[in-house]
Amino acid sequence: MVERQSPLEPVYHPGSHGNFEHGVDVILSEARPGSILQLAAWPGEERRLIDAIGKVTGLALPDGAGGGVSNGGRAAFGFAPGKFTVVDEAEGLASAFAGAITPAIGTLTDLSHGRTAIRIAGPKAEWVLAKFFAIDFALPAFPLGAGRSTNHHDVFAQIQRSGVDQFDIYVFRSFARSFWKALCHASEEVGYEVH
């Protein structure tokens, strides 16, 4: 398999940055999943698609847009009615779905080479993300495993809460570098570290 190059490489500078004299409140990194898939159910087939996702991944995905779950290196979340993002650390997850997602149920699109996954973690992660998106990032409104679909200016983003103080943001590779730079700039105020 061809090694994927990171679009962030020219602007990815490990270390502490910004106002970190009193500590670092945000950690930024590039998550590098092997598979990023988008699955969409035909009208009336949502339950069958959710069942297929569970069968292939072993994840018990709740009904409805916004619901999600993550376990180890796998994650799945709904981002619109009947539409789901499924992520795995391993490559080749699309082939595992080949027999499970039939044309009668819906569609599968492998986005692994078209998306970049950016992780933001730390006690001020919600605060930094609120600068970009008109979403309530508080834990009761955005529970663990849940996902949202939104945008910042012209950058479409799918966001999943992957930890209590951690979010994974999936953006188009062509916008990843500019979004990363904006995220770093927004994090300067609280001090951030790039891992």
Residues 113-127 have pLDDT tens digits of 999 999 999 999 999
The pLDDT, as a whole number, for residue 121 is 98
* Residue 102: both structure tokens together: 């039939």
Does 65 have pLDDT greater than 70?
no
CA separation for the pair 181, 184 (Å, rounded): 5
Residues 140-181 have pLDDT tens digits of 999 999 999 999 888 899 999 999 999 999 999 999 999 999
pTM of the prediction?
0.93
Helix, strand, coil fractions of the chain, as percent rounded to 5: 25, 35, 40
Does 134 have pLDDT greater than 80?
yes
Residues 2-34 have pLDDT tens digits of 677 899 999 999 999 999 888 899 999 999 999
The pLDDT, as a whole number, for residue 63 is 74
Amino acid at 48: R
Q: Which domains does the chain have, with CATH numbers?
A: 9-32+114-194 (3.30.1360.120), 35-110 (3.30.70.1520)
- Beta carbons within 8 Å of 113's beta carbon, 6+ residues apart: 4, 173
CA-closest candidate to residue 18, choices 189, 179, 178, 194: 189
